[in-house]
A and B are shown apart, each in its own frame.
Chain A
Amino acid sequence: MSITLKSEADVRSVGVPRRRRRRHDLAALLYVAPAIMFVLVFFLLPLGMTVWMSLHNWPLIGRPRWIGFANYNALWRDHGFWNALAFTGRYTVAATIGLLAVGLALALFVEKPRPLVGLYRTVFFLPVVIGFASASLLWAWLSSVDAGLFSPLAEQLGLTNGRINLLATFDPAFWSVTVMVIWKMAGFYMIILMSGLQAIPADYHEAARIDGANFWQRFRFITLPLIRRPLALASILCVSGSMLAFDQFYIILAGGPQNQTITAVYWIFNQSFVSFRLGYGSALSVVLLGILMVLSALQLRLFGDREPPR
């Protein structure tokens, strides 16, 4: 501490004159000002507003009334929210495992130069650029029992006896949405993981191969440890994205069958814009933000460097 103080004092007395230094700081501030403004206006202000609203009984139409922490108290007894959160957790596990596994498999497939690799990469990445809403609408149509593709196709191929309404019972409905998400997003994680794979020097694999390591051993002991960071990035993006899932369940299933696929964000949307309780919806959002922060911190720890500091 004393050392830093001393060195600062040194700089002050010996180094740049104070006035020029201040002007320097001001210029730097000017350069980052747009970014600061951006964060302020589009992140901090809305966040502050959300917290402020969560302390009110804030109807969509009508006058807000200060109620302190009553929304947060009510939240503990809101079974709907906790059920929605449990479902979101279940979906997150399924989607994350599916996305990372498929993304990694695709990345391994397109990582090395081979004929048509450019085409494969493009094809795998294409669904990513479709919006979630459009993809959901497309899937809703494909899954429709009367006018769609899957059910009539399964019937014609003799896989099912008669047409099955995929969206009418929980398991097929849940899995068809999850498969849609994997189809749509796997290409994105493929790109992230591919960049990690390409950064691994070829010598490592070559040396291991000479030592007699088979594919699985090389994958387990060379590839996986060396793509830990891109994998951590992919996993954090995937978990936080899945925890915020809404569009696909709203558009394809409308939370059905029997309200079994209502996600946390869907519940917040319902409270805010169907029941018109913006204040309560804000309180739920704040809690969800907290949960997400904890989850991300946990993952950072899990994937963090555990090598001794150099």
Chain B
Amino acid sequence: MKKWLCGVGGVLAALVAGAAQAETITMWARSDDSTFMPKLVDAFNKSQSLHKVELQIVPVNELVQKYAVAAAGGSAPDALSLDLIYTPAFAAAGQLKDLTDIAKSMPYFEALSKAHLSVGTYQDHIYGMPFSADGSVLIWNKKLFKAAGLDPDKGPTTWAEIRHDAEKVNALGGGVRGFYFSGNCGGCNIFTFTPLIWASGGDIFADNGRKATLDTPQMRDAIAFYQEMVKGGLVPAGAQTDTGANFFAAFATGKIGLTPSGSFAIGALNSQFHDLDYGVTYLPGKDGGWSSFAGGDNFVVSKSTTKMEAVKAFLAYAYSLDGQTLLAHNGSLPVRQDIAKEALKGLDTRYLVAADAMAHGRTPYSTVFNDLINSANGPWNTMLNKAFFGDPDTIAPTVRNAQDAMQSIIDTAP
């Protein structure tokens, strides 16, 4: 009898202990992540039986609003794969859990993407962990390069070389243009245009995003570089009003010589446009050097969550070689540099350029990023659209106006 009781007690104890540890967490991700997130979550759920992640994919343009509504109603998801540039805004609003201790206890903490962590940190606490990544690069059409008498295996390394190559390709005629960029898309240009400025020694924010530093010689030079290409007829007319719809599609038509793009384009071109032979290189500075915008998602945890065991387990899996390989093979760059090469093994070598670009890339820091940069009507996009398609003497006043407008938004932010 005693033995029997003991047995029951043991089973009960095991059950209770099990119930206390096994956790199911809900997680949201934006629709841009829909190729790799479901696979990663499935793989995690299958890799162990204790914890479970339930994933919900949210349309990218609704994620912030949906999260805000859910958080106000007390039904926020436990975790969120958040576009990394929003991390400062969410942290500043007091919505996120402090992950500093968890992050610093990871043996590979030093190898995690520095750019992701820089925007994941608010007032010296880490709220966002690097999760998925995308880096901006320059891509060129090898077939058009060959036809134009250029070396198809050598991408440009300075602005003058970009201009030269674009002119050669443009001279082919027949609807072929040298260069393309989305001229009315703030989000596209922060991703592909700022690296030109960074690589030339400039920057757009200082002092943790509290100071706008648009009005620099590097900015004016970079704008003039684009403006001259527009004036030279190297860019299709539609670029002026492209709000991002053709950011990728223009190059995919095979009629564009060069375009700044992102690592996402490699996967998309390989899977949908087999005949298009293209090269990938770094976005150069005016006279050499290079830079990249490190984009992607940070993993953040809602403040109200108590299920930290499952969160930790999921993060550990995502950072494992299995997790990183799965991400790398499904459209995201690895965020752990010490095993990045291994995770990318067997993939198109062009990914290595993008992964390297991302690893040394930067991410601008601002708690009002959406207002300043992503808004179609914000100071960043307004400035670029006006200056890219204006005259040389409009550049300086346009940049000055944008600088003032940005600073005033930063100063009056709630």
A binding-site residues for B, Cβ under 8 Å:
57, 59-63, 144-147, 163, 165, 167-168, 253-259, 262, 270, 273-277
Q: Are B376 and A63 in contact (CB under 8 A)?
A: no
**Residue B68 interfacial (CB < 8 Å):** yes
CB neighbours of A61 from chain B (8 A): 64, 67-68, 71, 89-90, 93, 95
- Nearest opposing residue in chain A for B95, CB measure: A61
CB neighbours of A277 from chain B (8 A): 414
Q: Are A254 and B95 in contact (CB under 8 A)?
A: no
In the complex, A62→B303 CA distance in Å? 11
CB neighbours of A254 from chain B (8 A): 184, 243, 376-377
B binding-site residues for A, Cβ under 8 Å:
64-65, 67-68, 71, 89-90, 92-95, 184, 236-238, 240-241, 243, 246, 368, 370-371, 374-378, 382, 385-386, 389, 414
Known: A63-B94, A257-B385. 14 other contacts (CB 8 A): A59-B414, A60-B64, A60-B68, A61-B93, A144-B238, A168-B237, A168-B389, A254-B376, A257-B241, A274-B374, A274-B375, A274-B378, A276-B371, A277-B414
Q: Are B237 and A163 in contact (CB under 8 A)?
A: yes
CB neighbours of B377 from chain A (8 A): 254-255, 259, 262, 270, 274
Q: Are A276 and B89 in contact (CB under 8 A)?
A: yes
Q: Are A270 and B375 in contact (CB under 8 A)?
A: yes
Decide if the interface of chain A is mainly helix, strand, loop or mixed: loop
In the complex, A144→B238 CA distance in Å? 7
Q: Are A168 and B240 in contact (CB under 8 A)?
A: yes
Q: Are A146 and B238 in contact (CB under 8 A)?
A: yes
Picked from A147, A165, A259, A274, the residue with its CB within 8 Å of the CB of B240 is: A165
- Nearest opposing residue in chain A for B92, CB measure: A62
CB neighbours of A57 from chain B (8 A): 414
Known: A255-B377, A274-B375, A276-B89. A62 touches B94 (CB 8 A): yes
CB neighbours of A274 from chain B (8 A): 370-371, 374-375, 377-378
The minimal Cβ–Cβ distance linking A198 to chain B, given in whole angstroms, is: 44
Q: Are A62 and B95 in contact (CB under 8 A)?
A: yes
30 contacts between A and B (CB under 8 A): A59-B93, A60-B64, A61-B64, A61-B68, A62-B93, A63-B94, A145-B236, A145-B237, A165-B237, A165-B238, A167-B241, A168-B237, A168-B240, A168-B241, A254-B376, A254-B377, A255-B377, A256-B376, A257-B241, A257-B385, A258-B386, A259-B382, A270-B375, A274-B375, A274-B377, A274-B378, A275-B368, A275-B371, A276-B64, A276-B68
In the complex, A61→B237 CA distance in Å? 39
Known: A59-B93, A61-B93, A254-B184. A273 touches B65 (CB 8 A): yes
CB neighbours of A273 from chain B (8 A): 64-65
CB neighbours of A255 from chain B (8 A): 376-377
- Nearest opposing residue in chain B for A270, CB measure: B377
In the complex, A58→B339 CA distance in Å? 44
Q: Are A60 and B240 in contact (CB under 8 A)?
A: no
CB neighbours of B238 from chain A (8 A): 144-147, 165
The minimal Cβ–Cβ distance linking B359 to chain A, given in whole angstroms, is: 30
CB neighbours of A259 from chain B (8 A): 377, 382
Give the 7 A-B residue pairs with the shortest CB-CB distance, closest first. Answer: A62-B93, A146-B238, A254-B376, A61-B93, A167-B241, A60-B68, A145-B237
In the complex, A57→B243 CA distance in Å? 31
Q: Are B385 and A256 in contact (CB under 8 A)?
A: yes
The minimal Cβ–Cβ distance linking A143 to chain B, given in whole angstroms, is: 9
Q: Are A258 and B67 in contact (CB under 8 A)?
A: no
Q: Are A256 and B68 in contact (CB under 8 A)?
A: no
In the complex, A61→B236 CA distance in Å? 40
- Nearest opposing residue in chain A for B90, CB measure: A61
Q: Are B184 and A256 in contact (CB under 8 A)?
A: yes
In the complex, A199→B395 CA distance in Å? 62
In the complex, A147→B377 CA distance in Å? 25
CB neighbours of B243 from chain A (8 A): 254
In the complex, A174→B237 CA distance in Å? 18
The minimal Cβ–Cβ distance linking A176 to chain B, given in whole angstroms, is: 11
In the complex, A97→B161 CA distance in Å? 54
- Nearest opposing residue in chain A for B240, CB measure: A168
The minimal Cβ–Cβ distance linking A43 to chain B, given in whole angstroms, is: 20
CB neighbours of A262 from chain B (8 A): 377
The minimal Cβ–Cβ distance linking A102 to chain B, given in whole angstroms, is: 27
In the complex, A60→B89 CA distance in Å? 11
CB neighbours of A144 from chain B (8 A): 238
Q: Are A146 and B236 in contact (CB under 8 A)?
A: yes
Q: Are B95 and A256 in contact (CB under 8 A)?
A: no
CB neighbours of A257 from chain B (8 A): 241, 385
In the complex, A256→B385 CA distance in Å? 9
CB neighbours of A253 from chain B (8 A): 241
CB neighbours of B90 from chain A (8 A): 61
In the complex, A254→B67 CA distance in Å? 24
The minimal Cβ–Cβ distance linking B6 to chain A, given in whole angstroms, is: 52
CB neighbours of A275 from chain B (8 A): 368, 370-371, 375
- Nearest opposing residue in chain B for A57, CB measure: B414
Max chain B Cβ within 10 angstroms of own Cβ: one of A63, A262, A275, A277: A275
- Nearest opposing residue in chain A for B368, CB measure: A275
- Nearest opposing residue in chain B for A169, CB measure: B240
- Nearest opposing residue in chain B for A272, CB measure: B65
CB neighbours of B67 from chain A (8 A): 61
CB neighbours of B64 from chain A (8 A): 60-61, 273, 276
The minimal Cβ–Cβ distance linking A277 to chain B, given in whole angstroms, is: 7
- Nearest opposing residue in chain A for B62, CB measure: A273
The minimal Cβ–Cβ distance linking B399 to chain A, given in whole angstroms, is: 15
CB neighbours of A270 from chain B (8 A): 375, 377
- Nearest opposing residue in chain B for A62, CB measure: B93
In the complex, A254→B377 CA distance in Å? 8
- Nearest opposing residue in chain A for B374, CB measure: A274
In the complex, A258→B376 CA distance in Å? 10
CB neighbours of B368 from chain A (8 A): 275
